[in-house]
């Protein structure tokens, strides 16, 4: 008797799946892990040099330096004695004091109330103070680079001595900045010159404003700042530097520019491969609230936080306008308290009393003595912690980029009172993006109070702030890593101080060829020759036809 066995379809399928799974497992067990060989490369020495500036110039670069230190590199922070404190929180950064700093007095903003005060009256003494130590800083940096076998230099964008020392030492260098001031990140519709940076773009500027910014302001700048620039050139020549009056950006053209910014905080535009935006880099560690501040904020639900950074001291008129507006906001129910970080503003800077629109009068001495439970004056506050507290709903600020980043990270709407530098630019961008509004110095108490209430209660502003909060959280998460990666790219790929793989082809071509002027000229000549040929043909044809017509007419007359 013959027995036959036919496997069931399900059993066959199960068997096939088992065999496939076993084969896949065996294949996976033979896979190798891809590892970066750059981690085994020789570690490098990096020096970051900045002559002045504060947290917006230092902290984000030092955060990248900390990451590079974790990767095994040696990262030096060269700064004036007074600024060495900024390096303390970064344990893997070696801080090197360079000597006494330039004059860093806080800016008395009362001068801006003078209608005759010009931008150049502000800019010239600032540049004079920055360049006064050029010779000392150049010599110190150059010697330090040689003695410590520095492989890469990172220069803050206002550290002219650092750039010159790097060039003299034949070292590659990176330029750092919080805004994209460079020619590589410009466009005809972008305002990225410090003299005209009031609006991000020319989109809403009149033809008169654009003409003034394009032609008049540069001429005024050249006239007013020429003595300062000549003095700097003279200092350079005494040090043996081949110096002349020229655009400082020209020396940066072959170096990478690292910018702590991102689209949304700066206007979108075509970007050169020599510019990398890695922002916003926000320090991940911050100081907590003091017990008193914690109790104050916990006891409120809608607090306005007022702070103007480390370098600006509002005038008495500024303080009166803003303080009255916030207090009117409290009386109208848009707020239930305020916290004011006075920093450089002493008691005598404040008006003796504040009178609100309701007719109530508040003595400033009583506010400082905390007589009123909803009003708090503090010499210093941990800004990040204050903004992250859920009771803080509104940030009244001067408009510094770092403050803008922190405010959006915490999801807080803003009222801006800008003074100088990039502050007017940031303020206009914040207002046009629907993240807050600008308090104008000419506002009357009613207008100022209405502005506070509108910003505090606006649902549209709240939604826009949420969008920007997501933007900041997404980009700040890996900004430090990106910055460190880019610096390592320069460390391991630069050739004779340049990055050939990033340089666009036009850098190796004549202007005429790079902009196709030659072929357009050729095309124009071809068109002219074609038109001339057609013209000659038409004229010849016309003459031939006419001559035949005349012959015919003569024959007709003769007959």
pTM more than 0.85: yes
Q: Give residue-wise pLDDT tens across range 191-216.
A: 888 777 788 899 999 999 999 999 99
pLDDT in tens, 296-339: 999 999 999 999 987 778 899 999 999 999 999 999 999 999 99
**Dist CA 91 CA 80 (whole Å):** 19
d(CA 249, CA 50): 17
pLDDT of 272 > 50? The answer is: yes
Candidate from 1-10, 50-59, 275-284 with smallest mean pLDDT: 1-10
Torsion of CA 250, 58, 341, 408, to 10 degrees: 80
Cα–Cα distance measured from residue 210 to residue 220, given in angstroms and rounded to the nearest whole number: 15
**The two three-digit tokens of residue 372, written as one number:** 């009123």
Chain-wide mean pLDDT for the chain? 89
Could you tell me what percentage of the chain is helix, strand and coil, using 3-state DSSP and rounding each to the nearest 5?
50, 15, 35
Describe the crossing of helices 160-168 and 134-147 by its angle, rounded to 10 degrees.
40
3-state SS assignment for residue 185: helix
Give the pLDDT confidence of 370-396 residue by residue, as tens digits.
999 999 999 999 999 999 999 999 999
CA pair distance 312, 439, nearest whole angstrom: 16
- Helix, strand or coil, per DSSP, at residue 337: strand
Give yes or no for residue 102 having a pLDDT over 70: no
Is residue 139 a contact partner of residue 87, using CB atoms and an 8 Å limit?
no
pLDDT at site 501: 95
Which of 126-135, 213-222, 440-449 has the least mean pLDDT?
A: 126-135
What does the pLDDT look like over 139-195, one tens digit per residue? 999 999 999 999 999 999 989 999 999 999 999 999 999 887 777 788 899 988 877
- Contact, 153 vs 49, CB < 8 A? yes
Q: What is the pLDDT of residue 15?
A: 57
Question: In whole angstroms, what is the distance from residue 70 CA to residue 54 CA?
Answer: 24
pLDDT given at position 346 = 79
Would strands 312-313 and 303-307 be described as parallel, antiparallel, or unpaired?
unpaired
The pLDDT assigned to 22 comes to 58
Q: Mark out the alpha helices in 300-444 (DSSP H runs).
A: 316-331, 364-368, 383-388, 401-410, 423-432
* pLDDT, position 13: 55
- At which residue do the structure tokens 């890695």 appear? 278
Q: What is the pLDDT of residue 192?
A: 83
**CB burial string 235-255: b at 16+ within 10 A, e below:** bbeebebeeeeeeeeebbbbb
Q: Which residues are bridge partners to 60 per DSSP?
A: none
- Position 477 pLDDT exceeds 50: yes
Distance CA 175, CA 152 (A): 11
The distance of Cα 444 from the centroid of its chain, to the nearest Å, equals 33
* Interacting residues of 401 by C-beta distance below 8 A, sequence separation 6+: 56, 178, 179, 260, 261, 265, 422, 426
Which pLDDT score is estimated for 20? 60
Residues of the chain with pLDDT > 90: what percent?
A: 66
Give the residue ranges of DSSP H helices in 103-216.
Answer: 119-131, 134-147, 160-168, 207-211
Backbone angles phi, psi at 217, to 5 degrees: -60, -45
């Amino acid at each position: 008797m013959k027995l036959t066995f036919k496997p069931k379809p399900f059993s066959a399928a199960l068997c096939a799946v088992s065999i496939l799974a076993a084969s896949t497992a065996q294949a996976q067990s033979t896979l190798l892990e891809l590892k970066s060989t750059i981690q085994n490369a020789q570690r490098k020495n990096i020096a970051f040099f900045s002559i002045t500036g504060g947290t917006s110039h230092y902290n984000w670069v030092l955060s990248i330096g900390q990451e590079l230190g974790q990767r095994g590199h040696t990262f030096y922070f060269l700064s004036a004695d007074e600024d060495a404190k900024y390096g303390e929180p970064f344990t893997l950064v070696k801080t090197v004091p360079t000597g006494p700093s330039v004059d860093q007095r806080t800016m008395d903003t009362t001068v801006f109330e003078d209608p005759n005060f010009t931008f150049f009256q502000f800019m010239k003494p600032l540049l004079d103070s920055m360049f006064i130590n050029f010779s000392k800083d150049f010599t110190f940096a150059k010697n330090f680079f040689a003695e410590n076998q520095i492989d890469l230099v990172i220069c803050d964008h206002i550290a002219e001595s650092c750039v010159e020392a790097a060039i003299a030492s034949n070292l590659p260098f990176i330029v750092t900045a919080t805004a994209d001031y460079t020619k590589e990140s410009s466009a005809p519709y972008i305002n990225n010159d410090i003299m005209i940076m009031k609006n991000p773009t020319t989109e809403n500027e009149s033809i008169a404003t654009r003409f003034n910014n394009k032609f008049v302001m540069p001429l005024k700048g050249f006239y007013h700042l020429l003595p300062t620039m000549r003095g700097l050139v003279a200092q350079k020549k005494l040090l043996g530097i081949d110096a002349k009056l020229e655009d400082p950006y020209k020396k940066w053209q072959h170096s990478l520019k690292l910018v702590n910014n991102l689209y949304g905080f700066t206007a979108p535009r075509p970007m050169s491969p020599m510019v990398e935006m890695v922002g916003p880099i926000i320090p991940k560690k911050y100081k907590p609230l003091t017990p008193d501040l914690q109790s104050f904020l916990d006891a409120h639900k809608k607090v306005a936080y007022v702070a103007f950074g480390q370098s600006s001291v509002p005038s008495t008129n500024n303080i009166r306008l803003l303080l009255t507006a916030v207090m009117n906001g409290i009386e109208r129910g848009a707020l239930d308290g305020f916290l004011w970080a006075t920093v450089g503003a002493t008691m005598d800077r404040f008006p003796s009393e504040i009178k609100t629109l309701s007719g109530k009068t508040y003595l400033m001495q009583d506010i400082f003595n905390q007589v009123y439970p909803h009003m708090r004056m503090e010499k210093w506050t941990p800004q990040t912690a204050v903004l992250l507290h859920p009771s803080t709903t509104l940030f009244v600020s001067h408009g510094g980029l770092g403050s803008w980043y922190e405010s959006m990270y915490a999801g807080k709407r803003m009222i801006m009172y800008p003074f100088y530098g990039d502050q007017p630019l940031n303020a206009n961008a914040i207002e046009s993006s629907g993240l807050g509004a600008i308090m104008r110095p000419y506002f009357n108490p009613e207008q100022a109070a209405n502005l506070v209430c509108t910003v505090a209660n606006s649902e549209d502003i709240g939604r826009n702030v949420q969008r920007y909060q997501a933007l900041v959280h997404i980009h700040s998460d890996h900004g430090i890593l990106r910055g460190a990666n880019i610096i390592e790219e320069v460390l391991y790929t630069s050739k004779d101080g340049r990055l050939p793989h990033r340089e666009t082809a036009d850098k190796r071509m004549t202007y005429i060829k790079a902009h196709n002027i030659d072929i357009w000229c050729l095309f124009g000549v071809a068109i002219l020759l074609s038109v001339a040929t057609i013209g000659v043909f038409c004229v010849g044809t016309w003459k031939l036809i006419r001559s035949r017509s005349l012959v015919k007419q003569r024959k007709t007359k003769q007959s």
